[in-house]
A and B are shown apart, each in its own frame.
Chain A
């Protein structure tokens, strides 16, 4: 099983600042099958990035994904009020599928 470790656990930033979220895998993620999801309280997860670098439909271009192998990053170039949420990485290249424990992006 691939273990995904996200860091930091909590990111305290102000609107307009840059957010950098990390997801490290215990072994290489096949085909860079790594996704990022945004989740707000009381809502289902929402796809942000798939296959490491591709923005999902409707996701603004201030969100970008990078990485391959075991190290992946989600960057939000300039935080908007709507971006404060919990973000999870998810690998779907190997069974069982696994999720990271989440990074909370909160208002400083």
Chain B
């Protein structure tokens, strides 16, 4: 059973950066592929990016390229999502999620979400 524990809520000013963490337990991070999905208030789910095991690299949604960096620290089993040059439209709940490694590459486990508020 995988458990994902995310860091707490953040309030940032427009133009600033935010870094959200996602601590894995139950498995090691190297056994998993972590992706990030966000949800603006009252809106739907939006895929941001994640590690593609088939390509062996991290892939990003086009709209976030240049502003988003996804990293991992296997020594602490923690994944990170850093979003730079925040805008008010980036106010959202950010989720980390795992790609199933055995059946098909759907998202199976989810973190509890981290609220990021970008406001002056």
Contacts and interface: CB of A to CB of B under 8 A. Distances in A.
A95 B59 contact: yes
Contact of B47 (A51, A98, A101, A102): A98
Nearest to B45: A99
B115 to A, nearest CB: 11
Contacts of A45: 45, 95, 107, 110
Contact of A35 (B37, B44, B47, B107): B107
B45 A88 contact: yes
A35 B37 CA distance: 15
B112 interface: yes
Interface in B81-107: 95, 100, 103-107
Interface size class on chain A is 20 to 34
Contacts of A46: 110
B106 A90 contact: yes
Interface in B27-47: 35, 37, 44-47
Contact of B95 (A44, A56, A98, A101): A44
A85 interface: no
A99 B111 contact: no
A50 B45 contact: no
Contacts of B37: 99
A47 interface: yes
Contacts of B73: none
A50 B103 contact: yes
Interface of B: 35, 37, 44-47, 52, 59, 61-62, 95, 100, 103-108, 110-113
Interface of A: 31, 33, 35, 37, 44-47, 50-51, 54, 56, 88, 90, 92, 95-102
28 contacts: A31-B104, A33-B105, A35-B107, A37-B45, A37-B107, A44-B110, A44-B111, A44-B112, A44-B113, A45-B110, A46-B110, A50-B103, A50-B106, A51-B106, A54-B103, A88-B44, A90-B45, A90-B107, A92-B104, A92-B105, A92-B107, A95-B52, A96-B62, A97-B35, A97-B47, A98-B47, A99-B47, A100-B44
